[in-house]
């Protein structure tokens, strides 16, 4: 899943129902405040590209299967 040029504040809750989803990339997101992650036990790769460090998630506990974080 790739989300580019967005202003999302949180990833959709429906992600936990996507059993085959293994990678999420959020590119050039400009939310007001930190991005909130949805719970997912299958996502292994999470890539977030932003110019603003304050837009990074405060915690990655919602995605315990993460092996690669960029």
Please report the pLDDT score of residue 42 as a whole number.
95
pLDDT number for residue 50: 82
SS3 33: coil
Q: What are phi and psi of 49, to 5 degrees?
A: -120, 120
Give the alpha-carbon dihedral of 24, 26, 31, 35, to 10 degrees.
30
Please report the pLDDT score of residue 66 as a whole number.
96
pLDDT at residue 3 tops 90: yes
Q: Is the per-residue pLDDT at 30 higher than 90?
A: no
pLDDT of residue 54: 85
Per-residue model confidence as pLDDT tens digits over 35-63 = 999 999 999 999 999 878 888 999 999 99
Alpha-carbon span 61 to 65, nearest angstrom: 9
Write the CB contacts of 61 (distance below 8 Å, at least 6 apart in sequence). none
Say what the pTM is.
0.88
């Amino acid at each position: 899943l790739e989300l580019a040029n967005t202003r999302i504040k949180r990833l959709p809750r429906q992600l936990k129902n996507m059993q085959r989803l293994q990678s999420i990339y959020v590119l050039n997101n400009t939310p007001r405040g930190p991005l909130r992650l949805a719970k997912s036990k299958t996502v292994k790769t999470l890539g977030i590209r932003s110019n603003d460090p304050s837009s990074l998630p405060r915690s990655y506990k919602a995605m315990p299967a993460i092996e690669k974080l960029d």
